[in-house]
Amino acid sequence: MSNPWLREFWRMAALFGGALFVGWLLDMPLGLFTLALMAYLGWHLYNLYRLERWYYRRKKTEPPHASGIWGEAFEHIYQLQRSNRQRKKRLATILSRFKESTAAMPDATVVLTEDDRIEWFNKAAKRYLGLKNKQDIGQRIDNLIRHSRFSEFLARGDFAEPLEMASPLDDQRYFSFRIVPYGNNQKLLVVRDITRLKRLERMRSDFVANVSHELRTPLTVLTGYLENMTDATGEHDGQWDKSLQQMQSQTQRMTRLVEDLLMLSRLENEEKSALRDPVAVSAILASLLEDARTLSGERRHQFSLEADDALWLRGSEKELSSAFSNLAFNAVQYTPAGGHIHLRWQRCGDAVCFEVEDDGIGISPEHLPRLTERFYRIDTGRSRESGGTGLGLAIVKHVLDRHGAHLEIDSQPGKGSVFRCVFPKKLLIEHRQSQAV
């Protein structure tokens, strides 16, 4: 009989049936039946007592043995207990393996709670961040990494990009702080030492800056001599004139390249503190328009300028002027003679935009994502011919990045292009306020 309840029923029936039968023989059926009932109840109470006692001091002991339905119940409890124990063991092994592997990781790893308190950290976190065992658990992480940029990063809640800054303990070392949200609003802070990478980057940009700087003097000398020689044209024949012209245009191109490379390395290395001046954008654009007209020369492009005088920006006049002129001059270079070029400086939705629209040669969509890379040109020959360095849009991108702005490009081959610099509203200053500054 496999069903335990059925077995228990037959046991009960046998007990009470037997009691009634013996009671009938002895002529006291009710008495014996009550006795059997009490014995049965007593047996239940006794097993209940054993269960309660076992539960009370269960720790690692097995549940008591019993017969009948109680035996069955104890057996189930025992199986439950055993599978729980196995699961606990498995979880403990996984947890200790996870802790061992994260502890051995060269990157500092800190587990943070929802309100940014430290829950756990590995050995590297002690070395990198100076965290101390026990005493720092439960502390807010921004109380221990005391740096305004880190606090802002933590408060912003946007962890798509890591934060790169000097180590809180040693300003010669550079760290990348990455936060990965997981589970129940918890966060994993991973800190990686990027000192070597930063040093290499610095070496590369110093190298480019030094080479460019060193090239300046020989180029100035060459340009000077070439000018002198061109001025003295009478002494040369036609063949010489042509060569001199070519030499002059190539030295000019090299000078522009050197200037652009120096500008890029300045943008990469200079502190952002120079980006706080009020800038009268419409005044920049007025003089830029004149320069663009001069550049257009015989090609006679049709220019228009719409600029809201009241919109001033907080930033660097030199950098913004360089970025805007790169865009305007590109429009002149890549728009056929007589084409239209519109410059606009106005509010656009929640932001402020500088826009250059032309009806020139346009750009096919596959080039757009790579256009701001250094030396990326669609038609190298054409760019060189027009005196382009291939660095113009890279400079624009850097300047905009430094101002917290971005570049949008809409273009159709054969129809024209719109290059739009979108500045966040927080950089905007009203005209009256800016005059008072």
Tell me the C-alpha distance between 88 and 86, whole Å.
Answer: 5
Question: Cα 237–241–243 angle (5° rounding)?
Answer: 120
Residue nearer to ligand ADP on the CB measure, 173 or 253: 253
* Residue of 376, 354, 363, 374 lying closest to 335 (CA atoms): 363
Residue 40 to residue 33: CA distance in whole angstroms = 10
Segment interacting with ligand ADP (CB under 6 A) among 49-57, 67-75, 181-189, 384-392: 384-392
* Interface of this chain with ligand ADP, residues 310 to 329, rule: CB under 6 A: 326
The answer to the question of residue 288 lying near ligand ADP (CB under 6 A) is no
Among the residues of 122-237, which ranges form H helices? Answer: 123-129, 141-144, 148-156, 195-231
Tokens representing 205? 């940009």
Examine residue 368 and tell whether it contacts ligand ADP (CB under 6 A). no
Helix (H) or strand (E) holding 432: helix 431-436
Helix (H) or strand (E) run with residue 260 in it: helix 238-269
Assess contact for 314 and 434: CB atoms under 8 A: no
Residue 358 engages ligand ADP in binding (rule: CB under 6 A):
yes
For ligand ADP, give the closer residue by CB, 118 or 421. Answer: 421
- Check: CB of residue 417 under 8 Å from CB of residue 410: yes
Q: Which of 167, 316, 389, 434 lies at the binding interface for ligand ADP (CB under 6 A)? A: 389
The amino acid at residue 382 is R
Q: Considering only residues 7, 377, 406, 431, which one is a binding residue for ligand ADP as defined by CB under 6 A?
A: 377
The residues in 198-227 that bind ligand ADP, with binding defined as CB under 6 A, are none
* Residue 393 touches ligand ADP, criterion: CB under 6 A: yes
Q: How many residues bind ligand ADP (CB under 6 A)?
A: 23
Q: Quote the least distance from Cβ 375 to ligand ADP, whole Å.
A: 8
Nearest approach in angstroms of CB 391 to ligand ADP is: 6
Q: Are 128 and 191 in contact (CB under 8 A)?
A: yes
Q: Is 332 in the site for ligand ADP (CB under 6 A)?
A: no
Site mask for ligand ADP (CB under 6 A), range 25-64, x = bound: ----------------------------------------
Q: Which residues bind ligand ADP (CB under 6 A)?
A: 326, 330-331, 334, 358, 360-363, 371, 376-379, 383, 388-394, 417
